[in-house]
Each structure stands twice: as C-alpha cells, then as structure tokens.
C-alpha cells in the first residue's frame, strides 16, 4: 500500500489499500473512494494526513516525502496546542532584530 499526493497536491491518494480498511478510511473527514482507480482520496491537509497515518498505522504503508512533510506539520500543530505556558514555547529566532518603541510593559515590538 502506498500513500501519495495527486498531481495538484490537494488530495492524498491511498493506492492498494486492503478491503478491510474501507470502513476505517471512510470514517476520515473528506475521504472519497475512487471507483475507477480503486483508491481512496483524502484531503491533503496536515490534520487529515495525521488521521490517515493513524488509520494506516501498522499496515506497512509507504509514503512520499510530500506526505511526510504534511505529517510533520500536523505534529507541529499538535505539539503547539499542548503548550500552555510561555516556558514551554521554543526560543524565538532573530530576537536581536527588534527594538522597543513603547515602555516594556506595553509589549510593542517593531522591526528595527
């Protein structure tokens, strides 16, 4: 089984999925069965790809680099959603390029 992006890059296509996964794949938001090509199509969004990855976990599916990139984006979004405190956030790059125009209490930064 292989997961690829279509030519436009707006849908992930699951090629060669076993019949037993039909119900699982049908449950994914936006999933469509292509009767002619016998393949599942799922929206190529980070969260849809994360759901697809979870559904196909342990099935031996191979993916293209573009699909892997979408999966990494989904994991970044999920990790960001779990951060509740400033201390949990990563360092902000290029901090030295900003200067204060207002008192520090106002928290106003501009590029300088």
List, for residues 49-96, the tens digit of each pLDDT value: 888 888 888 788 888 888 888 888 888 888 777 766 666 666 766 655
Number of other residues whose CB lies within 10 A of the CB of residue 5: 19
| Two tokens, residue 60 | 């031996």
The overall pTM is greater than 0.85: no
Residue 25 is predicted with a pLDDT of 86
- 5 neighbors 71 (Cβ within 8 angstroms): no
Lookup: tokens for 20 = 């037993």
- Mean pLDDT, rounded, of the chain: 77
């Amino acid at each position: 089984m292989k997961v690829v992006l279509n030519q436009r890059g707006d849908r992930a296509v699951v090629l060669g999925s076993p019949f037993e996964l039909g119900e699982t794949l049908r449950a994914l938001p936006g999933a469509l069965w292509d009767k002619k090509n016998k393949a599942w199509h799922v929206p190529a969004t980070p969260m849809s790809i994360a759901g697809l990855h979870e559904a196909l976990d342990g099935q031996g599916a191979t993916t293209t680099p573009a699909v892997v990139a979408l999966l990494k984006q989904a994991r970044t979004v999920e990790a960001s959603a779990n951060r509740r405190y400033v201390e949990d956030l990563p360092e902000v790059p290029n901090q030295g390029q900003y200067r204060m125009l207002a008192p520090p209490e106002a928290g106003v930064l501009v590029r300088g």
